[in-house]
Structure 1
Amino acid sequence: MNSTRQLLTKIHDVKVQTLCNNLKRCISAKAFIFEKQFDGFPKESDVKLVEEKLPPLRDGEFLAEALYLSVDPYMRAYSVRTKPGKTFMGSQVARVIESKNSKHPVGQYVVGEFGWRTHTISTGEKLPNGFPGAWAIPDFSKKLPLSLALGVLGMPGNTAYFGLLELCQPKPGETLIVSGAAGAVGSIVGQIGKIKGCKVIGVAGSDEKGKWLVHELGFDHFINYKTDNIRLKIKEYAPDRIDCYFDNVGGELSSTILLYMNLFGRIAVCGAISGYNEKHPPKATMVQYPVTFSQLRMEGFIVHRWLDRWFEGIEQNMKWIQEGKLKYRGDGYGGF
């Protein structure tokens, strides 16, 4: 679940059954139901694949057919809030195949918070948590893959864009360090940092990922947190210390990095991957000392804080892709 790149699952061979009773069409949907809370790493038995019949549409509703599902690290952390018996969470790229909603006509592509299911009836309205139930994908599918709406041109891309620029506010010549740097968010953060004129250090868990970060994405340096002496590497790569830290990982790694922050350094806390699959939260050195003595600004965030500017991030990231300044990578798997 804590894959370093966002995984996309394409839906194939979905059987749509047409029933003639009362001249009403009924769609057969498949869904993964959350059976029980994860204990350590997720297991296949923790979810159950079921099939269900969907009723005819009512006014204001539309029927969406999934094309791509996302698998993101945040799901592991949020799963503790999910009640067993519910469709497992997740975003998807879907196509509207039937509609009684003028905002979402047939043929429109949307990103929906529909979870792991093949077909969904929705109104597209806000969810109880305030997040949008669905939003129409901007017209970039002629030039770029639709799946990017779950990556660099969607939630992960906006997480990188707003989290870095709004909270860290990087300036030319500053040093930025990114943990989880080879992930869907971290890899974009580092590239935006370079666009803004920063020296960028990426932290990840393999030399293969490090080569990708440096040689393909343009990071200045890479630290392998599994094999390198982190303190020595930070001293080598950041002799003038660190100005901005984009934290995807938490744990002792983050506690160590904070010791090398400059006065008035800025930290954007995006996640804590180091503890997502642990039965007991990992212990880490107290961060209050460096936060106090270096007068650091450390702020956590959820990207939906910037819902009113959502398409600003998508449009800017798309512009950087078209200019060759922002590169992306994704893994795709067929089947449901």
Structure 2
Amino acid sequence: MEETRQWRLASRPVGEPSRDDFELVTVDRPEPGPGEVLVKTLYQSVDPYMRGRMRDAESYAEPWDVGDPMQAGIVGQVVESNHDEFEAGDVVTGTLLWAEHAVADGDELRPVDPDRGPVSTALGVLGMPGVTAYFGMLDVADPTPGDTVVVSAAAGAVGSVAGQLARLNGARVVGTAGSDAKVEWLTDELGFDAAVNYETEDLSAAMAEACPDGIDGYFDNVGGPITDAVWPLLNVRSRVAVCGQISLYNATEVPTGPRKLGKLVESRARVEGFLVSDYDGRWGEALDRLSTFVREDEIRYRETAVEGFENAPDAFLGLFEGENVGKQLVQVAEYES
């Protein structure tokens, strides 16, 4: 029987994860049962929400058990199919194991059209991050022409798309990022009106300077000090879309709060958290519009691809060091068209 490799959760991290929390094992390559598909992984996604699945605590995503394989969004190529809608060679995407090969229920896979763009984009701008940005920005933050919209982690997979969608809706867009190179990418290539380097600038002063007329929309991926700097600048009837809180994902103690809810009384602002799964029935709408924007060069994107399945944990850990620009991926195998 042929073999394949998979990553398992070796231990539950306390604070920041390390490579010791992951275990690479070799197993027999699985065989698909009725209605199932054997998929060879081409690209694997790593995402901040995975940190929550490493905890033994209730959340919107079920935690992984120590010793079990982890899961990720993948783009892969069908090796063998017992499902009527797929055949060998098809490109698919879905949530599978952190593995070089995995079996999935064919009903839980989506086809990927290689003519829409590089197949890797099905994990980024034309996948879950892009769809998250689409609904979080357009449905929750709801920018209108003339608004000032702030996006935290704006050089990431979600934030970079969210900011460009706000710009396309006529808003003035301000992003935050952790390096001068990322700030330059946001303003020079993606069309952000301003960007703040949270590593080197005084956040409160820089945010006030970048948003002289206050803030009408805030797409929050980070929380923490960036949100503290945004909060006093919220305008009347502003909208806050809470997508993530990566600044707290490795915290061993969550800071006491919130303490500034009085600002919501003053501004009558609306704060709403959301999950991309809230919009399961509308993915087609989002992907059609996003693919048009990409094709017409209205939305630009980058991918940071770490090569080699054995380096998947390093790619994940790099998210918390701000190493990626755009979507962070692991390239596991070459796509054979």
Q: Which TM-score tier does this pair reach, normalised by the shorter chain?
A: 0.7 to 0.9
Q: Which moved more, 1:225-234 or 1:247-256?
A: 225-234
Matched, 1:33 2:12: no
Displacement after TM superposition at 1:279 (Å): 2.1
The aligned residue for residue 18 of structure 2 is: 43
* 3-state SS in 1 of match to 2:72: coil
8 Å Cα contact 2:207-2:229 kept in structure 1: no
Q: Could you tell me the percent identity over the aligned residues?
A: 39
For 2:287 and 2:26, the matched residues in 1 are separated by 35
Q: Deviations over 1:268-327 (max 9, x none)?
A: 000001111222224566231112221111111110111111121111111001111100
**Which structure's CA Rg is the greater one?**
1
* 3-state SS in 2 of match to 1:83: coil
Matched, 1:217 2:217: no
Q: Which moved more, 1:76-85 or 1:306-315?
A: 76-85
Matched, 1:316 2:316: no
Matched, 1:69 2:44: yes
Matched, 1:156 2:156: no
User: Structure 2: 5+ residue runs without aligned partners?
Assistant: 56-62, 310-337
User: Structure 1: 5+ residue runs without aligned partners?
Assistant: 1-25, 126-132
Task: Please identify which structure carries the higher helix content.
Answer: 2
Displacement after TM superposition at 1:214 (Å): 0.4
List aligned pairs for 1:117-128, cutoff 5 A: 117-125=99-107
Matched, 1:264 2:246: no
Q: Deviations over 1:87-117 (max 9, x none)?
A: 1121110111101110222222111211310
Determine which of 55, 58, 67 is the counterpart of 1:85. Answer: 67
* AA in 2 matched with 1:309: R
Matched, 1:281 2:263: no
For 1:284 and 1:226, the matched residues in 2 are separated by 23
TM-score by length of structure 2 reads 0.86
For 1:153 and 1:298, the matched residues in 2 are separated by 27
Displacement after TM superposition at 1:190 (Å): 0.8
* AA in 1 matched with 2:91: Y
8 Å Cα contact 1:251-1:283 kept in structure 2: no
The aligned residue for residue 108 of structure 1 is: 90
8 Å Cα contact 2:235-2:267 kept in structure 1: yes
* 3-state SS in 2 of match to 1:304: helix
Q: Deviations over 1:20-53 (max 9, x none)?
A: xxxxxx4422100111111222211111111111
8 Å Cα contact 1:252-1:283 kept in structure 2: no
Displacement after TM superposition at 1:55 (Å): 4.6
8 Å Cα contact 2:16-2:250 kept in structure 1: yes
For 2:95 and 2:227, the matched residues in 1 are separated by 31
For 2:284 and 2:87, the matched residues in 1 are separated by 20
Report the count of equivalent residues: 302
8 Å Cα contact 2:30-2:102 kept in structure 1: no
Where does structure 1 differ by over 3 angstroms across 4 or more consecutive aligned residues?
282-285
